[in-house]
Amino acid sequence: MSICDFSGRERSDACPGALQVHEAIDGPLARVRLPGGAVSPVQLCELATCAAELGSGVIELTSRANVQVRGLRSPAAFAERMAAAGLLPSAAHERVRNIVASPLGGRGHAGLLATQPLVEALDRELCARPRLAGLPGRFLFALDDGTGDVAGLGADVTFAAEHRTGARLLLAGSDSGLTTHPESAASLMIAAADAFLDERAAQAEAGGTAAVGGTGAASRGAWRIRELENGPARIAARLDGAMAGLRASTASGFSGSSGFSGSSGFSGSSGFEVRRPRGVRRAERHAQRDGRVAIEALVPLGRLSAAQARTLADIGDHIRLTPWRTAVLPDLSPAEADRAAEALDVAGLVTDPDSPWAGVTACTGRPGCAKSLADVQADARRWVAALDGARDTPVHWAGCARRCGLPPGRVVQMIATTDGYQERQQ
C-alpha cells in the first residue's frame, strides 16, 4: 500500500511542520509550508543558511511545493529563525497552510488570471479561522490559473479558472458544479474546508456507517475529502446551503448546482474537464505574455544544496517552487534568461529539456529512513548517469513497499527489496 492510500486509520495525523518535527533516523525533520510555492530571495537564503548551520545542508522540495530540512540539531532555533523570516505566520495553522498554485501565476499565454493575490487572500483567511487549525496536515488547496497544471493534482479544494472573471470549484479533483468569481474564491474555498470538518464530524457521530471502511475511527481519521463516502457530493450539498450567507457577505458571490452521479463523484452542467497530469515535467523556458521569460529548472531528486539555493536567490526577484520539484524564475528579459540558465547549469540545476533527470523522483531512502532497504538516492543517480536523454514516463525510486513520494498518474516504480529492485508499472 502506498503511504498515501487510505484503508481506515486510527492514528492521529503526524504530518511534520516547522514546530511539530518528525523524528527521523537521521534526526529531526522540519517541513515549512510555502503557499503557492512562493519564497523570496531573502527567505530562500535564510533557509539555505539554516540548512547548512542547523541541519544536513540540503533543502528538500516536496510534492506540494513546500520545503523540508533534515537532521536538525536544534529544532527550536530553526523554528525561531523561520518565524523571523516570515515563513511561520501562525503557529496554530502552520501545518495546514498547504496551498499549491500554477507556477507562472497567469503570466503564460494560457494563463487567465494572476493566482498569487488569491493565494495570499486564502492564506490570510485560513490563518484567521481558529477552527481550521484542526484540518489534517495533508488537506490540500489548489489555485489554477487556467492552464490546468495544478487542477489535475486532485487537491481537496481547487479553484480552476475558466475565464478571467470566473472559475470552477473542484472537490477532490471533481467538478462540484459551483462557480465563483476571483473576489470570493477564498471565501468559498474556506467554506469548503469548514464543510469537510462538519461532514467528517457528522459521519463519525453517526457511527461511521458512511465512512470508508465502515468504522467511526475511519471517519474520524479521514485526512482528505476523497476518504469520506460521497465526500465531494456531501460537501457540495453543504456549500449549497451556505451560498445565501456567502452572497450576503461578498460583493460578487458564486452560483451553481451540485448534482452528482453515484458515489464516485459528480459534475456540473458546463462540461468542465479536469486534465490529469501526463508524461514528465521537463526544464523549460516559458514565454510570458509581456515578452519576458520564465525559466523552469529541474532540481535533481528534489534536493537543493545551500549553494544551489543561494544561486536561485541571486538570480530571481521572485522564486516559485512547484509540485514537480522544479524551481521557476519568472519575469526575466531574454538576455537575463540566458545568463540565468548558464548560472543554474554551473550550480548543478537542470535547464536542458532533454535531460535524463526529467521525471525521475526518489524517496529519502537510506540512511535517512529506517524502513528503507537501499540508498535509493545514490542508486537513482547512478541510473540517471547511464541514460542518454529524458524518458517519456516518470520513474520513481522507493526504498520499500510504502513508496513514499509516489507521483500521481502513470509511473514506472523501482522498489527496493532484500534482493535488488523490483520494477512495477502503475
pLDDT at 330 > cutoff 90: yes
Which residues make Cβ contacts (< 8 Å) with residue 97, sequence separation at least 6? Answer: 33, 35, 90, 123, 126, 127
pLDDT band for position 262 (cuts 50, 70, 90): very low
Nearest alpha carbon to residue 103 among 159, 167, 35, 195: 35
Q: How far apart are CA 116 and CA 323, in angstroms?
A: 16
pLDDT at residue 278, as a whole number: 63
159: which strand partners? 143, 169
Give the model's confidence band at 409: pLDDT under 50 very low, under 70 low, under 90 confident, else very high. Answer: confident
Three-state secondary structure string covering 34-74: CHHHEECHHHHHHHHHHHHHHCCCEEEECCCCCEEECCCCC
Mean pLDDT (whole number) for 333-347: 98
pLDDT of 259? 34
Cα–Cα distance measured from residue 44 to residue 85, given in angstroms and rounded to the nearest whole number:
9
Which residues are paired to 161 by β-bridges?
167
d(CA 97, CA 133): 9
Task: Let me know: does 98 contact 139? Beta carbons within 8 Å.
Answer: yes
Contact in structure between 125 and 193 (CB atoms under 8 Å):
no
Mean pLDDT of the chain: 88
Q: pLDDT tier at 12 (50, 70, 90 boundaries)?
A: low
Instruction: Give the per-residue pLDDT at 247.
Output: 53
What CATH fold (topology level) applies to the domain 360-425?
Sulfite Reductase Hemoprotein; domain 1 (3.30.413)
Residue 249 — pLDDT band, cuts 50, 70, 90? Answer: low
pLDDT over 90, % of the chain: 77
For the question of whether the overall pTM of this predicted structure is more than 0.75, the answer is: yes
Mean pLDDT (whole number) for 321-333: 97
- Give the model's pLDDT for residue 316: 87
Cell numbers of 187, please? 471565501
Edge-to-edge strands, sheet with 27-32: 22-24, 27-32, 67-69, 58-61, 303-305
The pLDDT of residue 218 is above 50: no
365 within 8 A of 372, measured Cβ to Cβ: yes
Q: What is the pLDDT of residue 240?
A: 80
- Average pLDDT of span 116-139: 97
Backbone angles phi, psi at 32, to 5 degrees: -115, 125
Residue 321: per-residue pLDDT: 98
Could you report the per-residue pLDDT of 360-390, keeping only the tens digit for each? Answer: 999 999 999 999 999 999 999 999 999 999 9
pLDDT at residue 277, rounded to an integer: 61
Q: Which of 253, 264, 276 is nearest to 230 (CA)?
A: 264
Specify burial of residue 168 (Cβ count, 10 A radius: 0-12, 13-18, 19+).
buried
Question: For 90-104, how does the pLDDT look when each residue is reduced to its tens digit (9 = 90+)?
Answer: 999 999 999 999 999
Query: Does residue 341 have a pLDDT over 50?
Result: yes
Higher per-residue confidence, 253 vs 69: 69
93 exposed, middle or buried (CB, 10 Å; 0-12, 13-18, 19+)? buried
φ, ψ (nearest 5 deg) of residue 303: -120, 115
pLDDT (tens digit per residue) in 31-64: 999 999 999 999 999 999 999 999 999 999 999 9
Long-range contacts of range 162-167, CB-CB < 8 Å, 24 or more positions apart? 162/112, 162/270, 162/272, 163/112, 164/112, 164/113
Task: Name the one residue in this structure whose C-alpha cell is 523501482.
Answer: 414
The pLDDT score that the predictor gives to residue 165 is: 82
Q: What is the pLDDT of residues 77-91, one digit of tens each?
A: 999 999 999 999 999
